[in-house]
Chains A and B, each alone.
Chain A
Amino acid sequence: MTPPTVTRAVVTVRDVAERAGVHPGTVSRVLNPEKRHLISDATAARVERVAEELGYQANSIARGLRTRRSYTIGVVIPDLTNPIFPPIVRGIEDRLHPLGYTALLTNTDSEPAREVRGIQALTARQVDGFIVTTTEASLDVVADMVRDGVPVVTVNRSLSGVSGFAVAPDDRRGAVAAVEHLLGSGHRAIAHVGGPRALAPGQERYRGYQDALREAGVRVPRALVRFAEAFTGGAGVAPTRALLASGKPFSAVVAGNDLLALDCIDTLRAAGLECPRDVSVVGFNDMPFADRFTPPLTTVHFSPYDIGREAAQLLMAQIEGDGAAPRTLVLPTRLVVRGSTAKPRGARRRS
């Protein structure tokens, strides 16, 4: 039996892409003199050979038509159980839905294998673009997509080294506000339980922490800066234990996000230190229910819903081909002071 042959009147970019084993966006770029330099020579040569074999003819009218879209976009999320992500998804969907697009999600649990696989599963299924929350594992995959011209927006975490489209909260200034709040309450020995430094938010929040302390002329022992291996619940336990084990006194902690802050509060309590009586803790994200926790969490607020909407907007701009240059949209953050921060014990006694 012979394999079925696909016969179409017109050879499309997608046909060329399928045969060459690349994304359609890559084909467009190779065949577009202005953008050809973005693609490696080997890939460009393969695409050109395939285009010739199939008899592909670029048709400037057809190129402008909204044809051959799947009207589906892929959304890659590292941890659906982190309450920050569902509102991001809702923001994305509320923006896409009126335009007739459906979002297909894949949850990767921050596991490298799942992440790469989820992206591949979606790529193979011809989505029109991606909204990705990058983790260490997917940095390369996303960088490849950006290079290949696949419409992609990274959310929450901007990419270092690759000029792509991104939406992120102002991580650095959020952390500065957290430290300034603690300094203003009289804290000096302010520790940091940071997120992974390989990820932009981990790095940026740490930078804000450093900047604010330096600005105030406050020096903190190196032992009071620890990093979690992930931004997920449970990952804050080890770095908090390390702080306690260092023997250096501290009266406050700036945590990389709310889940790490909760781990920190629990771990301190297990060591006999109550928050905020003994140690003040500031989170980041203002996750749902943060105001209801015991103690209610002082944290840096931003709108994940807005992040989702803006990301969808940036993605649509790419899919529609408005030709705008890659850009990062930074959304404002603000500190929300609640019950997990107080004056340091010594200061309270003195006052």
Chain B
Amino acid sequence: MRTFAQAEARRQAAERQLAGWGRRSCRAGLAGESMAAGADQLLQAFAKPHPRAYAVAMPTTPRPTRVTVREVAERAGVHAGTVSRALNPSRRHLLSGETVERVERAAQELGYRANRLASGLRSARSFSVGVLIPDLTNPFFPPMVRGIEDRLLARGYTALLANTESELERERRSVAALAARQVDGFIFAPSPPAGALVRELIADGTPLVLVNRRVDAVAAFAVTPDDRRGAALAVAHLVARGHRRIAHLGGPQALSPALDRREGLLAALAASDIALDPRLEAFAESFTEGAGVAPTHALLAAVSGSPGDRFTAVVAANDLLAVDCIDTLRGAGLECPRDVSVVGFNDMPFAERIRPPLTTVRNSPYEIGRQAAGLLLEQIEEPGASPRTVVLSPLLVERGSTADVPRSDRR
């Protein structure tokens, strides 16, 4: 008997070959003669029992049914998950009567037969996954993508990326474009209004992992850094260096990382018996370069009338905002770290090379990407696992943008 690993390796090789030829043509039996012959062989190699079933020893290798849920879905113009539900008596009530009827008609026309054995199989994988990124120019995301790709590639999957600018319309369009290309699942850092889209994907049974951002009230697979703890590390570092007048340059509060970082900051300040002076808090409208200028001006203006109230340190919600903050302070005659210490968040690439080298909370985006890809592969290859969130621990990286509180400000 072949081992499962051998079967898996052969199947993956077959998949790759089919992908190279344009797998849809081969699967639909439309390929040219020579290809059809090759594809037939490949489809035999392709026949794959359920991993667990295989472990119990199967006398013969079952061939997958030729008509798949996906084909029925295409014909009926619905998502594959809808087909599964329409044909599942216990879940049919979730759909409109008209949809159920359309799916049943398509299934009948195509001669689709729900197969007890096959229903346990993930049919017709494309070995590609969709990755939706809110802002590719944010240096946090490229290493995350690399982490995703490294993990996927090891298992024979390709990542197709889409940049959404955190705009719901782009998110919807990208999901549609990727779904039309039959990706096996999604890794998604959703915008705040994308909650409904996330719920739709989950309801459809689409393998999905949320990264970096939570969607409230949704049980989803997710990988996030422990941002509360990260902010607490930043505060503890500053307090240890004598700072008590600590300002907060927050991120857009609609985004869960910005919220979590703020909560962590407030909790850590409270733990050190420091109440955040409301004048020492300002928020950026986005996490992008340039967005930190206005809130830094606001912080400076808020205490300009009372020099005794000025701040000696700033916790910024990400590195790009920290860099803006340092520039804006310099423009106002305040040098970092001599006059004001600044802590960033993320440890973006090149953070160690800028002047001053940035003290920052390291959220390893590469590791977030790797973990997310792992959770997605698990869902694709072994459906039915319960959603869970992986929370990664941050690390404070101390560099040149923080120093002891200036002597004149010690109290």
Contact = CB atoms under 8 A, between A and B. Distances in A.
Interface of A: 1-6, 15, 18-21, 46, 50, 70-72, 80-81, 83, 86-87, 89-90, 93, 97, 102-107, 109, 114, 117-118, 120-126, 262, 288-289, 292-294, 296
B41 interface: no
B99 interface: no
B57 to A, nearest CB: 26
B161 A83 contact: no
For the residues of B in contact with A, the DSSP-based class is mixed
A118 B158 contact: yes
A9 to B, nearest CB: 16
Nearest to B355: A294
B355 A50 contact: no
B19 A21 contact: no
Given A1-B111, A124-B20, 14 more contacts: A5-B29, A18-B22, A80-B142, A81-B146, A90-B136, A93-B165, A104-B178, A105-B160, A107-B149, A118-B158, A121-B128, A124-B24, A125-B160, A296-B355
B409 interface: no
A226 B122 CA distance: 52
B195 interface: no
Contact of A107 (B65, B145, B170): B145
Interface in B17-32: 19-25, 28-32
A293 B66 contact: no
B349 A83 contact: yes
16 contacts: A1-B113, A4-B66, A4-B75, A19-B25, A46-B32, A81-B142, A90-B136, A90-B137, A93-B165, A102-B170, A106-B161, A114-B153, A124-B19, A124-B22, A125-B182, A126-B181
Contacts of B28: 3-4, 6
B181 A104 contact: yes
A102 B25 contact: no
A90 B141 CA distance: 14
Given A19-B32, A21-B22, A86-B136, A102 B149 contact: no
Contact of A293 (B19, B158, B353): B353
Contacts of A20: 32
Contacts of A126: 181
A288 B163 CA distance: 19
A103 B357 CA distance: 35
Nearest to B65: A1
A107 B161 contact: yes
B91 to A, nearest CB: 25
Contacts of B149: 107, 109, 114
A292 B31 contact: no
Interface residues of B, number: 56
B180 interface: yes
Contacts of B66: 1-4
B35 interface: yes
Nearest to A292: B354
A289 B31 CA distance: 51
Contacts of A106: 158-161
Contacts of B357: 294
Contacts of A107: 145-146, 149, 159, 161
B67 interface: yes
Given A18-B24, A123-B22, A102 B143 contact: no
A4 B29 CA distance: 8
B354 A293 contact: yes
Nearest to B138: A86
A30 to B, nearest CB: 15
Contacts of B30: 6, 15, 18-19
A70 B354 CA distance: 43
B161 A105 contact: yes
Contacts of A21: 21-22, 25, 31-32, 35
Interface string B111-146: 101000000000000101000000011010011011
A114 B353 CA distance: 30
B275 interface: no
Given A21-B32, A107-B149, A124-B20, A4 B177 contact: no
B146 A103 contact: no
A124 B354 CA distance: 43
A29 B144 CA distance: 41
B289 interface: yes
B162 interface: yes
B218 interface: no
A125 B25 CA distance: 11
A134 B119 CA distance: 42
Nearest to B27: A3
B146 A288 contact: no
B388 interface: no
Contacts of A262: 353
Contacts of A46: 32
Looking at A5, A46, A81, A296, the one whose CB has the most chain B CB atoms below 10 A away is A81
B104 to A, nearest CB: 16
Contacts of B67: 1, 3-4
Contacts of B75: 4
Nearest to B167: A97
Across the A-B interface, give the 6 residue pairs with the lowest CB-CB distance, nearest first. A125-B181, A105-B161, A3-B29, A292-B354, A86-B137, A80-B142
B260 interface: no
Contact of A86 (B16, B142, B158): B142
A226 to B, nearest CB: 23
A105 B137 contact: no
A5 B30 CA distance: 9
Nearest to B175: A102
Contact of A89 (B19, B160, B163, B178): B163
B342 interface: no
B355 A121 contact: no
A296 B350 CA distance: 13
Contacts of A122: 160
A43 to B, nearest CB: 12
B142 A102 contact: no
Contacts of A3: 28-29, 66-67
A50 B65 CA distance: 28
A72 B177 contact: yes
B323 interface: yes
Nearest to B182: A125
B71 interface: yes
B167 to A, nearest CB: 9
Contact of B158 (A2, A72, A117): A117
B153 to A, nearest CB: 7
